[in-house]
């Protein structure tokens, strides 16, 4: 018998040793997953309708943590580290960003970047103005609100000065947030808005109500892709709902 065959036929090292090896493999896997979530990508579930129609309740979104560099907000439990970002990069107008709410850092919210540091932002008649120029709005069609079957909303395409396009919802004129004063965005902060304009608490409201102006160090990362989306009623502890997916939202890029 060859030496190789003899080696292959050696008896098991015993159940205790096998258990230790299994625990080691599981621990390494957990450490690798934790490292990826801490430094590279982290999944989030969308809990509200403030970013409709682009993001809907039940979307499972992957967020890039290295898109803007890292801060304490990027880390689990928001540890008390110094302000600022390591390898920080400025977010771009139109980016969809996950962040820690300044007035309640334990909460993670998602909104779109509208105003950059140094910008002057104002909303008049539902139209957003940046530095005196309107962000063009193209009305499309009336649709039923995805999370409120009794409400019709107007789908509107907005195009930023940089040429980026995304869809918003408009419930009508004269609603709260349709007309504001001028917000001057300080250095190191951003002005955020939800795409569901009449159903979003964002930078149009002070921090104790909405977001207020968002400090850069509160950003967790950039929303990149909807991996999947579950219909209402699905849940982790309801195995019979795990395949209750929405069609057309698998691996859908976030615009």
What lies within 8 Å, CB to CB, of 134 at 6+ separation is 127, 128
The whole-angstrom separation of Cα 71 and Cα 109 is: 16
pTM score: 0.82
Task: With beta carbons less than 8 A apart as the criterion, state whether 95 and 222 touch.
Answer: yes
For residue 10, is pLDDT > 70?
no
User: How large is the average pLDDT for residues 101-120?
Assistant: 97
User: Which positions are annotated as active-site residues?
Assistant: 50, 111
Q: Output the CA–CA distances (angstroms, integers) from residue 232 to 41, 46, 237, 244, in the order listed.
A: 25, 12, 14, 9
For residue 38, is pLDDT > 60?
no
CATH fold for the domain made of 40-253: Umud Fragment, subunit A (2.10.109)
DSSP 76-90: TT---PPSS-BT--P
Task: List the domain boundaries for the chain.
Answer: 1-39, 40-253
3-state class of 59 per DSSP? strand
User: How large is the average pLDDT for residues 164-183?
Assistant: 96
For residue 250, is pLDDT > 80?
yes
For residue 6, is pLDDT > 60?
no
């Amino acid at each position: 018998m060859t030496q190789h065959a003899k080696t292959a036929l050696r008896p098991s090292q015993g159940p205790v040793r096998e258990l230790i090896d299994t625990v080691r493999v599981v621990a390494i896997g957990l450490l690798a997953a934790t490292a990826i979530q801490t430094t590279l990508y982290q999944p989030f579930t969308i809990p509200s309708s403030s970013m409709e129609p682009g993001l809907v309740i039940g979307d499972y979104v992957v967020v890039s943590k290295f898109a803007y560099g890292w801060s304490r907000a990027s880390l689990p439990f928001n540890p008390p580290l110094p302000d600022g970002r390591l390898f920080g990069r400025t977010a771009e107008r139109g980016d969809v960003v996950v962040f820690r709410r300044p007035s309640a850092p334990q909460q993670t919210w998602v909104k779109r970047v509208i105003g950059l540091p140094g910008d002057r932002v104002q909303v008049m008649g539902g139209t957003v103005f940046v530095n005196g120029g309107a962000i063009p709005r193209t009305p499309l069609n009336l649709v039923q609100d995805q999370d409120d079957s009794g409400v019709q909303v107007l789908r509107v395409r907005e195009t930023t000065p940089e040429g980026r396009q995304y869809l918003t919802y408009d419930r009508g004129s004269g609603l709260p947030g349709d007309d504001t004063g001028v917000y001057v965005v300080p250095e190191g902060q951003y002005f955020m808005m939800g795409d569901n304009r009449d159903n979003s608490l964002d930078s149009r409201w002070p921090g104790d109500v909405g977001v207020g102006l968002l400090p850069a160090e509160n950003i967790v990362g950039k929303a990149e892709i909807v991996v999947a989306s579950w219909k209402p009623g699905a849940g982790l502890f309801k195995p019979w709902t795990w395949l209750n997916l929405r069609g057309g939202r698998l691996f859908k890029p976030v615009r």
